[in-house]
Amino acid sequence: MTTALVADNTERFVQSVTAAERALAEAETLSEVVNVRDQAAAIQRLAATARYGLRFQNMAAAFKLRAERKAGQVLAGLERAAPVKDGHGAFAGRADAAGGATSAYTAALDQFGIAGRTGRRWQAIAAMDDDLFTQYLALVDEADESLEITSAGLFKLAKALETKPPKPLPVPDPEHVHEFVCRVCGSLAAL
């Protein structure tokens, strides 16, 4: 492949991503967002098969994550069926799964062929802090073209940065409280 041909192809690639990003910004319905997300996945496959390099693959992958984030925001706003409990009070599914009326959420998943797990993953991406999301994309972009942008990498970063509440200190049982206090007070008296 000549240098001019590669440059022309990569220029068209960037134009495709830019046009798709405009379409994502204008998309309001789940149908529009899913269509743009599918375009992003196709652009990402094109970058890989045409061997444009990891930089272009990451450009498409970042765009795909932004589209999935927007799809998750739309899904999160849809009405869900009420939870159904079994005879023992345990969660037994949702009303639409138990034969009740289909919720807007379930209908949307079915209409667009989105698996429930995928819908939950998109909503998890949508629920992530904006700074965390952009920080992940920037960190991978700044890497020396050795890292690939993936939703798994985004979730790993979120988990690594997750702050867990400190474990409470153990409380001694009442029988040993006096002994514990005497030991601590004795240690303080020796100072």
Which band of pLDDT confidence, cut at 50, 70 and 90, is reported for residue 139? confident
pLDDT at 2: 46
Tokens of 68: 């999935």
Cα(45)–Cα(133) distance, integer angstroms: 22
- What are 89-110's pLDDT values in tens digits? 665 555 555 555 678 898 999 9
pLDDT at 88: 67
Range of the domain at 13: 3-190
Q: How many CB atoms lie within 10 A of CB 154?
A: 22
Total count of domains within the chain: 1
Cα(33)–Cα(123) distance, integer angstroms: 13
Tell me, yes or no, if the pTM score tops 0.75: no
Tokens of 119: 């819908």
Which band of pLDDT confidence, cut at 50, 70 and 90, is reported for residue 83? low
Q: What percentage of the chain reaches a pLDDT higher than 70?
A: 73
